Chains A and B, each alone.
Chain A
Amino acid sequence: MKRRWWLAAVLALGTWASAQTLRIGLVSDPDVLDPDLGRTFVGRIVFASLCDKLFDITPDLEIVPQLATGYTWSEDGRTLTLTLRQGVTFHDGEPFNAEAVKFNIERSLTLPGSNRRSEIEPIERVEVVDAYTVRIHLKTPFSPLIAQFADRAGMMVSPKAARELGENFGRAPVCSGPFKFVERVAQDRIVLEKFEDYWNKDQIHFDRVVFLPIPDASVRLANLQSGDLDLIERVAPTDLNTVRDDPRLELAAAVGLGYQGLTINLANPEPRDTPLAKDPRVREALELALDREAINQVVFNGEFVPGNQPVPPTSPWYIEELPMPKRDVARARELLKAAGYDRVAFTLMVVNNPQSIQLGQVIQSMAKEAGFDIQLNAVEFATALDLQEAGEYDAFQIGWSGRIDPDGNIFIFHTCDGALNETGYCDPEVDRLLNAARSASSFEERHELYRQAAERYLPDRHIIYLYHPKWFWGYRADLEGFRPFPDGIIRPEGLKLK
Chain B
Amino acid sequence: MLPYLVRRLLIALPTLFLVTVMVFSIQRLLPGDPALALAGEERDPEVIAYIREKYHLNDPLPLQYYYWMRAVLQGDLGESIRTKAPVTEMILQKLPVTAELAVLSILVALAIAIPAGVLSAVRKESLLDYTANVIALSGLSIPNFWLGIMLILLVSVHLGWLPASGYVSPLEDLGENLKRMIMPAFVLGTGLAAALMRQTRSAMLEVLKADYVRTARAKGLAERVVIYRHALRNALIPVVTLVGLQLGGLLSGAVLTEQVFVIPGFGKMIVDAVFNRDYPMVQGVVLFTATAYILVNLLVDLAYALINPKIRLGGEAT
Which A residues lie at the B interface, using CB under 8 A? 29, 31-32, 39-40, 112-115, 117-119, 167-168, 170-171, 185-188, 212-216, 218-219, 222-223, 225-228, 380-383, 385-387, 389, 400-401, 419-420
Q: At the interface, yes or no: B242 with Cβ under 8 Å from chain A?
A: no
CA distance A365 to B262 in the complex (A): 38
CA distance A188 to B264 in the complex (A): 5
Which B35-61 residues sit within 8 Å CB-CB of chain A? 36-47, 50-51, 54
CA distance A171 to B268 in the complex (A): 20
Q: At the interface, yes or no: B269 with Cβ under 8 Å from chain A?
A: yes
Which B6-22 residues sit within 8 Å CB-CB of chain A? none
Q: At the interface, yes or no: B164 with Cβ under 8 Å from chain A?
A: yes
**Also in contact, A185 and B93, with CB within 8 A (given A32-B83, A383-B32):** yes
Find B46's partner among A117, A218, A400 (CB 8 Å cutoff).
Answer: A117
Complex contact B93–A214 (CB within 8 A): no
Name which residue of chain A comes closest to B85, CB basis. Answer: A186
Q: How far is the CB of A9 from chain B (nearest CB, A)?
A: 14
Name which residue of chain B comes closest to A34, CB basis. Answer: B84
Q: How far is the CB of A157 from chain B (nearest CB, A)?
A: 15
Name which residue of chain B comes closest to A225, CB basis. Answer: B157
Find B275's partner among A112, A118, A170, A380 (CB 8 Å cutoff).
Answer: A380
The stretch that binds A, out of B100-108, B148-156, B298-306, is B148-156
Can you identify 28 A-B contacts, CB atoms within 8 angstroms?
A29-B272, A39-B41, A113-B51, A117-B44, A117-B47, A118-B42, A167-B84, A168-B84, A170-B84, A171-B84, A171-B85, A186-B85, A187-B269, A214-B165, A219-B261, A222-B149, A222-B153, A223-B262, A226-B160, A228-B163, A380-B275, A382-B33, A382-B277, A386-B31, A386-B32, A386-B36, A387-B31, A389-B43
CA distance A387 to B37 in the complex (A): 12
Q: At the interface, yes or no: B82 with Cβ under 8 Å from chain A?
A: yes
Find A39's partner among B38, B153, B259 (CB 8 Å cutoff).
Answer: B38
Q: How far is the CB of B186 from chain A (nearest CB, A)?
A: 16
Complex contact A226–B156 (CB within 8 A): yes
CA distance A171 to B85 in the complex (A): 8
Complex contact A218–B165 (CB within 8 A): no
CA distance A119 to B149 in the complex (A): 42
The count of A-to-B residue pairs whose CB atoms sit within 8 angstroms is 131
Q: At the interface, yes or no: B90 with Cβ under 8 Å from chain A?
A: yes
Which residues on B sit within 8 Å (CB–CB) of A380? 32, 275
Complex contact A214–B84 (CB within 8 A): no
8 smallest beta-carbon distances between A and B, as pairs: A39-B40, A188-B264, A382-B32, A382-B37, A226-B156, A226-B164, A383-B31, A113-B50
Complex contact B50–A218 (CB within 8 A): no
**Other A-B pairs beyond A39-B39, A222-B152, A382-B275, 16, CB < 8 Å:** A29-B272, A31-B82, A32-B84, A112-B50, A113-B51, A119-B42, A186-B83, A187-B268, A187-B272, A188-B167, A218-B149, A222-B153, A222-B156, A227-B160, A382-B277, A419-B43
Name which residue of chain B comes closest to A221, CB basis. Answer: B157
Q: How far is the CB of A113 from chain B (nearest CB, A)?
A: 4
Q: How far is the CB of A202 from chain B (nearest CB, A)?
A: 32
Which residues on A sit within 8 Å (CB–CB) of B261? 219
Complex contact B157–A226 (CB within 8 A): yes
Find A222's partner among B41, B43, B54, B157 (CB 8 Å cutoff).
Answer: B157
Contact with A along B259-279 (1 / 0, CB 8 A): 111101000110010011100
CA distance A214 to B152 in the complex (A): 14
Q: At the interface, yes or no: B170 with Cβ under 8 Å from chain A?
A: no
Q: How far is the CB of A407 from chain B (nearest CB, A)?
A: 13
Which residues on B sit within 8 Å (CB–CB) of A115? 39-40, 42, 44, 47
Contact with A along B135-159 (1 / 0, CB 8 A): 0000000000000010011001100
Q: At the interface, yes or no: B3 with Cβ under 8 Å from chain A?
A: no
Q: How far is the CB of B282 from chain A (nearest CB, A)?
A: 12
Q: At the interface, yes or no: B166 with Cβ under 8 Å from chain A?
A: yes
Chain B interface size, under 10 / 10 to 19 / 20 to 34 / 35 or more: 35 or more
CA distance A342 to B261 in the complex (A): 53
Name which residue of chain A comes closest to B167, CB basis. Answer: A188
Q: How far is the CB of A415 from chain B (nearest CB, A)?
A: 15
Contact with A along B148-191 (1 / 0, CB 8 A): 01001100110010011111000000000000000000000000
Q: How far is the CB of B311 from chain A (nearest CB, A)?
A: 42
Which residues on A sit within 8 Å (CB–CB) of B94? 186
**Also in contact, A401 and B41, with CB within 8 A (given A226-B164, A380-B275, A382-B276):** yes
**Also in contact, A226 and B82, with CB within 8 A (given A113-B54, A385-B32, A387-B31):** no
Find B264's partner among A167, A186, A383 (CB 8 Å cutoff).
Answer: A186
Residue from A228, A380, A387, A389 with most neighbouring chain B CB atoms (10 Å): A228
Complex contact B166–A228 (CB within 8 A): yes
Q: How far is the CB of A32 from chain B (nearest CB, A)?
A: 5
Which B238-286 residues sit within 8 Å CB-CB of chain A? 259-262, 264, 268-269, 272, 275-277
Which residues on B sit within 8 Å (CB–CB) of A383? 30-32
Complex contact A219–B149 (CB within 8 A): yes
Which residues on A sit within 8 Å (CB–CB) of B32? 380, 382-383, 385-386
**Also in contact, A185 and B31, with CB within 8 A (given A170-B84, A171-B85, A382-B37):** no
Complex contact A113–B47 (CB within 8 A): yes
Find A419's partner among B30, B45, B166, B272 (CB 8 Å cutoff).
Answer: B45
Which residues on B sit within 8 Å (CB–CB) of A419? 42-45
Which residues on A sit within 8 Å (CB–CB) of B156? 222, 226, 228
Which B209-238 residues sit within 8 Å CB-CB of chain A? none
CA distance A213 to B271 in the complex (A): 14
Name which residue of chain B comes closest to A29, CB basis. Answer: B272
Which residues on B sit within 8 Å (CB–CB) of A186? 83, 85, 90, 93-94, 264, 269
CA distance A421 to B90 in the complex (A): 37
CA distance A380 to B152 in the complex (A): 29
Find B40's partner among A40, A167, A213 (CB 8 Å cutoff).
Answer: A40
Complex contact A118–B164 (CB within 8 A): no
CA distance A187 to B163 in the complex (A): 18
Name which residue of chain A comes closest to B268, CB basis. Answer: A187
Q: How far is the CB of A318 from chain B (nearest CB, A)?
A: 22
Name which residue of chain B comes closest to A258, CB basis. Answer: B41
